[in-house]
Amino acid sequence: MQLEQKTVTLAHLNVRPEKHGDENVGGADLKITFTDSNELLSEFHPTLRALLYKAEEAQGTLPGQEPAFTARRFGDLIGSLRLKHELKGADVVIGFGIGESDIEMETVDVDHYTVEVMEGGSVAYSFRVKCNPTGEQVSRLYEVMGGEIDITVTPAIEKQGQLEV
């Protein structure tokens, strides 16, 4: 799953110690949440959206146009799902409006994806970013906790580009 300058909420910041060999390093978990269209579900699996949503039965469609999947297929039976999707070695940039003030974190893990199925075709998404920010970055993240930030998530495979043959 790739996000490009997506406005999200930094819902939680958990700071913890980590050991990298003999070295003590500060680690952090960032919980990111946002609500978006159910079309983003296809980034996880091509049929996930059609599994969780269906077209309204009374809704007509125009020829050549895909029906809008806005009704929850299982009603209230499924509220949220935890997805086994991980991005190892991703790059994450948290934007603060001016490029120089952005927090850039390389080789982080993005996991613990959860999707909450909502009526009308919206989905509440959440995920965790496991990172090793500096003390200054932790301070800046703490100041915006609970507020909106812009985030870019680039999977490791996207960073590498295509190999020339």
Predicted local confidence at residue 165, as pLDDT: 45
Pick from 143, 113, 150: which is nearest to 9 by CA? Answer: 150
> Containing domain of residue 27, as a range?
3-53+69-158
Q: What is the mean pLDDT of residues 115-128?
A: 96
Lowest-confidence range among 66-80, 81-95, 117-131?
66-80
pLDDT tens, residue by residue, 138-163: 999 999 999 999 999 999 886 555 44
Q: How many domains does the chain have?
A: 1
Lowest-confidence range among 25-39, 59-73, 82-96, 119-133?
59-73
Pick from 73, 83, 135: which is nearest to 111 by CA? Answer: 83
Burial 49-58 (b: 16+ CB within 10 A, else e): beebbbeeee
d(CA 94, CA 131): 12
pLDDT tens, residue by residue, 34-84: 999 999 999 999 999 999 999 987 655 566 666 789 999 999 999 899 999
Domain membership flag for residue 61: no
Domain membership flag for residue 38: yes
Cβ–Cβ under 8 Å, residues 125 and 36: yes
